[in-house]
Structure 1
Amino acid sequence: MNADKLSDRLNAVANNIPNGARLADIGSDHAYLPCYMVNKGMIPMAIAGEIAEGPFQSALEQVQEESLTNLITVRKGDGLEVIAPGEVDCITIAGMGGSLISSILEKGKSKLVGVRRLVLQPNVASFAVRRWLIDNGWELLNEEILKEDRKIYEILVAEKGEPLKPYKGIDLESGMQFGPILLREKSDVFMEKWKAERRNWQRILIQLDGATQNEETEIKKKELKKKLKMAEEAFQ
């Protein structure tokens, strides 16, 4: 992967960025995504944000190597603190856990003024991102699931709108867990992911059955049984 050829995961993210958008890529790493988008003429400018010194320097070097310093600004900072309100209209956050993505969005809510689209790729806990979107008035427009290098990724695309609209006709909790759009499509990759998760939940439940029984154990068992029931209903 480089600035000329993205991974399948980042290519899926790129395909959901509107042409002409002013982009902020948070946790940009090597800044491959913004460099690719600008080089292809898909967007006029971008901000690449990084909190750690190493990735920040990598992004800076990549932008300089691509001779894009006049179009891509690399900034060091925590989450959305690298942008000003109204500075961008599309934000991408990819390759982090869902809880961290939700935390970044929550802490930076004041910076979302003028932002029209969020393209989010949580590595785990995508339900946390969906919950944040619902709580803050963002509507899921698209969800994708793909497998690359034996890992499965989800991409969530949202704009301000009716947050519960994609969940109509399905159980809200199941929708947040599995993804309302993905749940309707039930692709082969979707089934592979959640059947593996179901096996993991079953294994943990067996371990808990053999463990010392206390209130905490019972709560965990109840949660797992609830997830297993939702999975069975999702597979139908």
Structure 2
Amino acid sequence: MALILNMVIILIVLAVVCAIRRSVNVSRARALAAEEVSDFLMSRPFRPECDRSLLSATDTMDCILYLFQCWKDTHPRCNVIDYGMCDMYRAILLSRTINMYQDNKKLTSAEEHKLKELGILMAPSNISNKCAENVIRYDVSKLVERASGCVKYIDVDSEEDMVIRYSVERAFSVFKSNMRAIEKQEAAVHGQVFNLITDAAPPVLVKAQDETQYRKIYPVL
């Protein structure tokens, strides 16, 4: 009986130690993730002619794509990472249609054709340019949100994986904050509110549950 009791005590102690160690590892990973995202954004060139919120939003899009690319190097056969990268490429391409993406590159006719082929770039013809721009920004937000959500389905095998996962989540949080700031600016100018980050309605341009939604398209950025 004493032996069994000792074994139970040992198991409890080991469980507590493991829980504490995991808590420390998570806290460390989150701190490293916040530092990594901050360092990436600080390294980006500052453009005084660009809106600060818009510039930060597009920089975080670059950051998320970069993180997925780093993750792909260590997990080359992970299809979920492919899905995240694919959605980020689409978000960047789509954002170029309204000059939202601050890399001074325009959408080529081939890239525009690819977006239309995938059913993404199909703004209604009977709405104003400003409304179409809002719709496209909304879809960009949903694509980034969907890409960032992929991290929940990727097995975390190491501290490096954990840091990348939390870095993606942190970058998306920054992106979402900046898109909401843009939304408020638009509301102040036009006297209306257009929810960029919302679960109230599906995206207008992005097909839902479509077999092509995760087709690989990796354009040269």
Query: Shorter-chain-normalised TM-score: which range?
Result: under 0.3
Q: Which has the larger radius of gyration?
A: 2
More strand, by proportion:
1
The TM-score normalised by the length of structure 2 is 0.24
The higher-RCO structure (CA 8 Å, 6+ apart) is 2
The TM-score normalised by the length of structure 1 is 0.23
